[in-house]
Structure 1
Amino acid sequence: MGATLSDEQKIAKGREMAEAWRVMDWRKVADMFTPDGVLHSMMVEPVVGREAVYKRVSGLGDGLESITLNIHHMGVIDGVLYMERTDEFVIRGRPGSAPVVGVLEFEGELIKVWREYYDRAHLLKAMGLTEDFDAKTR
């Protein structure tokens, strides 16, 4: 599976992930996960598996004109990467932002679990949505 990443390498992976989001390279985002990796926005059901992660993040690209993950603080505690950030985006011409904390666990050089903590109602309002985009998948 590869060597364990150093703390500095984990931080570099966090920056690499933020850049993949900025350029909306959904394939790269998904490929940074293990084949059975988990993307879990904590207020909805987790997305399990690299291809499911790809489907989820590429689906967010519908109407998304730009997104930037502005990292305020990032560090490794007990081998886990913590990333405090504000995500700024433009979706269907509407600008928005949401404060987020991401928690990433690695297996070798890949992300095994990525947990996202944010105010879901705030995000949906910032996106101009009246219905949760995950509601139709449950």
Structure 2
Amino acid sequence: MITEDDKIAVVMDMVDAWNTHDWDRVANLFAEDGVLHSMMVDPVVGRDTIGARISHLGEGIEEITLRVRHVGVIDGVVFIERVDDFTYHGHSGAVPVVGVIEIGEDGLITEWREYYDRAQLLGAMGLAQDFDASGQ
């Protein structure tokens, strides 16, 4: 049975994968039918689709550091409060984020929900329109 500490370790592995630009590892931490859902846009479903999205986004990321402020487990679900510092195509910014992560017994992420100010993120990225709408 997966423990709370195991679940936190999976999430911290994800943080490390982002911080080291290891986009394959980001995708491989998701279950085959996993879901990545920034709550203000449609969810991205399936490990391969998540991998393609993250790899494409990662092409523009020059630097990124996910600074974890708090992480814990409530009712079997991991909650992480963090600030994402990044440089994307020469534009630098910092965006506060809360992630809510469900992890299966196999230690893979079944659903990762992200809550943040989308307009703040897009402005910091220097984008005039949402990359979900423009395909950027």
Same fold (TM over 0.5): yes
> 1:102 — aligned with what?
99
Gaps of 5+ in 2: none
- How far apart are 1:105 and its partner, in Å? 0.2
- How far apart are 1:136 and its partner, in Å? 2.9
- How far apart are 1:121 and its partner, in Å? 0.3
The answer to whether structure 1 residue 37 and structure 2 residue 30 are counterparts is no
TM-score by length of 1: 0.94
Among 76, 80, 95, the alignment partner of 2:73 is: 76
Q: How far, CA to CA, are the matches of 2:117 and 2:91 in structure 1?
A: 19
Q: How far, CA to CA, are the matches of 2:124 and 2:46 in structure 1?
A: 28
> 1:112 — aligned with what?
110
Aligned partner of 2:50: which letter? V
Q: How far, CA to CA, are the matches of 2:114 and 2:21 in structure 1?
A: 18
- How far apart are 1:46 and its partner, in Å? 0.3
Identity %: 54
Q: How far, CA to CA, are the matches of 2:37 and 2:121 in structure 1?
A: 15
- How far apart are 1:53 and its partner, in Å? 0.4
Q: Alignment length, in residue pairs? A: 134
Gaps of 5+ in 1: none
The answer to whether structure 1 residue 135 and structure 2 residue 106 are counterparts is no
Q: Deviations over 1:106-135 (max 9, x none)?
A: 112100000000000000001111110001
Aligned partner of 2:117: which letter? D
DSSP-derived class of the 1:13 partner: helix
Among 42, 48, 56, the alignment partner of 1:59 is: 56
TM-score by length of 2: 0.95
Q: Deviations over 1:19-72 (max 9, x none)?
A: 000111111000000000000000000000000000111111122101111000
Aligned partner of 2:88: which letter? I
